[in-house]
Amino acid sequence: MPFPDALPAVLLRALRERGYAEPTSVQAAVLEPETQGRDLLVSAQTGSGKTVAFGLAMAPELMGGTDRLPQAAAPLALAVAPTRELALQVKTELEWLYAAAGGRVVSCVGGMDPVTERRALAQGAHIVVGTPGRLRDHIERGNLMPGALRVVVLDEADEMLDLGFREELEAILDAAPATRRTLMFSATVPREIARLAESYQRDALRIAAGNEGGQHGDIEYRVAMVAPHEIERAVVNLLRASDSPSALVFCSTRAAVARLHGNLAERGFSAVSISGELTQAERSRALQVLRDGKARVCVATDVAARGIDLPDLGLVIHAELPKEPETLLHRSGRTGRAGKKGVSVLVVPPSRRRFAERLLAAAKLRAEWGEAPSADFIRGKDAERLTAQAKALAAEEPAPEDLEAGQALLADTTPEAVAAALLRVLRAPLPAPEELMAAVEDRRAPTRAPREMHAGGAGGAWFRMNVGRDGQADPRWVLPLLCRRGGVAREDIGRIRILGRETHFEVAAQAVSHFAAAVRKPDQTEPHIRIEPLPPGEGNERVDTRPRRYRQ
């Protein structure tokens, strides 16, 4: 279904130039004939095209059937958003939509210079977009004159109430003319939103766009089970296996963002980070680097869960699980936008499986469970990608000097060797995939204590590692290493004996076979460390751990 012909021609032209062939469900819903002139209470999924929807819905009030807006003076429309990022995104969308109509859009958001905003308002505006606190401040100071407002839009109204902006919203709505049109957009309509609508809307038309409360059809949810202490390695492989031009990785804290961002950069990924400690200018620069394609990965806290629109974002990774289902939905909603497909992956160690199941159930989501991509899988994908890339390069018309150099090269080298060298050059910039241990469900009996294990008893076994006291081995370093290499929990490791040149340690019966298989695989991080089983009975012998000078 195309956009209605009743829309101003300049807006229809702007939509075509932007690639909008037909409206999304929410855009079609707010443009139905019965919505004209009415207050609207709209529930729609994130990424469904809400900004363009209310931009088109307010057109009759702003343009009055003409193709040009009047001269900019006191604002005609006000859009309120919960975060700076979302407000600036809304401003950008409305600017291209109304550019040909002569529209002037001004933003007023926290973290920006209020003096600059005051000057912009004084120069006149058709639409003002901002955050609740900053908008209220400008109204109370007389910088923003609300008397001419014909439309007020509350975008992500549920989030604004969750963030404690009820008082600011009520002050803004009280200041606007009673004759205004009020459009409220919310992912959900809880009791607080319904009460706000009853107080500030007149005979509002309730619209549920899309499959409200259901799974976003354009987002595929997956769960990647990982061994303990291998979350960051799994993130590396998920990024390497994906064909998405850009990816967003979520962590719960600033410290986790800084650590993961540093690790990804060290491994060769072009990455940026966003967290609450950055200024608005720094966040904007990071996002622009992503949009320009100069970086592929953004590591962020939940400050990025709302209001960030990256057109080519096809992958969202939850390196740390969110605490609330709403946060999961809004994180994931950064992908699968405007009809494009996206993937949202939850990285889950065995100890967090039940929490992940509850989180998905509370969010009413269905996910495909499996393991993170293996290094062998990624190498296979690399072979396919690089072969296709090499064929594309070979299909291009070569410059005469390149053709001459190529012929000279083939005179001394076989075509197979040249092709292999080309693939090697193409592969060189790619970050190396990680060797991952298999994720093992925690089947330990709760009463089993590590110190109760005995070598050779009940299937337990002793192992040796070729690093000891002479190599600065320390229990605080050895235990995490063993858990990571063997893909086991701390409770699966029993006694640890650090000798001069090697370390002996126990592994619980239920973990022996998995541990033995895991440590046989090469470890690229510390290839010099070898772990192998001790011969039967060798771990039971009494070991003299005293310094050499005290031995008899």
Neighbouring C-beta atoms of residue 458, cutoff 10 Å? 11
pTM of model > 0.85: no
Q: Return the DSSP state at 47.
A: T
Q: Are 494 and 444 in contact (CB under 8 A)?
A: no
Distance of alpha carbon 73 from alpha carbon 546, whole angstroms: 86
Side chain identity at residue 244, one-letter code: S
- What's domain 9-208's superfamily in CATH? P-loop containing nucleotide triphosphate hydrolases (3.40.50.300)
Q: Which residue spans of the chain are classified as CATH 3.30.70.330?
A: 450-548
The SS3 assignment for 287 reads: helix
pLDDT in tens, 97-126: 999 999 999 999 988 899 999 999 999 999
Res. 352: pLDDT tops 80:
yes
CA-derived radius of gyration, the chain: 30
Q: Are 22 and 3 in contact (CB under 8 A)?
A: yes
Element containing residue 42 per DSSP (H, E): strand 40-43
What the block records as the tokens of 170 is 């009520």
Distance of alpha carbon 365 from alpha carbon 350, whole angstroms: 20
pLDDT in tens, 487-515: 887 778 888 888 888 899 899 888 888 88
Amino acid 125: pLDDT: 96
Assigned CATH class of 450-548: alpha beta
- 537 Cβ partners below 8 Å, 6+ apart? 456
pLDDT in tens, 51-79: 999 999 999 999 988 889 999 999 999 99
Neighbouring C-beta atoms of residue 67, cutoff 10 Å? 13
**Which of 534, 439, 539 has its CA nearest to residue 484?**
439
E-strand ranges in 239-312 read 246-250, 271-274, 297-300
Q: What is the mean pLDDT of residues 520-533?
A: 81
Distance of alpha carbon 476 from alpha carbon 186, whole angstroms: 49
Q: Which residue spans of the chain are classified as CATH 3.40.50.300?
A: 9-208, 219-373
Distance of alpha carbon 96 from alpha carbon 420, whole angstroms: 48
Domain 219-373: give its CATH architecture: 3-Layer(aba) Sandwich (3.40)
Backbone angles phi, psi at 264, to 5 degrees: -65, -40
Counted residue by residue, the chain has a size of 552
Amino acid 410: pLDDT: 83
What the block records as the tokens of 172 is 């803004």
